[in-house]
Amino acid sequence: MQSDGESMKVNKNCVGCGQCAAFCIVDAIDIKGKAIITCTCTDCRKCIPYCPVKALEA
C-alpha cells in the first residue's frame, strides 16, 4: 500500500503491528489492518529498521 507520489511502500509482509508508526518522526504511517504510508511521508526511511517483518521498502 502506498500513498500518492510517495516512494515508500508497504509490502505483503506487513502484519499491522504498528512498530513503524511508533517510530515515524512525521506521523505519516496509519495502521488500518496493515500499515499505510500517508502523503505526509518525507521519505526519511527512519521507520525501515523498526519493522520486525521487513515490510517497508523504499
C-alpha cell at 58: 523504499
Q: Determine whether domain 9-57 maps to CATH 3.40.50.720.
A: no
Task: Give this prediction's pTM.
Answer: 0.84
C-alpha cell at 16: 499491522
Question: How close are the terminal C-alpha atoms of the chain, in Å?
Answer: 12
What is the C-alpha separation between 11 and 26, in angstroms, rounded? 21
Inform me whether the pLDDT recorded for 6 exceeds 80. no
Exposed (0-12), middle (13-18) or buried (19+): which is 51, by Cβ within 10 Å?
buried
C-alpha cell at 48: 525501515
pLDDT of 12 reads 97
Could you read off the pLDDT of 7-53 as tens digits, one per residue? Answer: 899 999 999 999 999 999 999 999 999 999 999 999 999 999 999 99
**Whether the Cβ atoms of residue 19 and residue 52 lie closer than 8 Å to each other:** yes
Give 4's pLDDT tier (boundaries 50, 70, 90).
Answer: very low
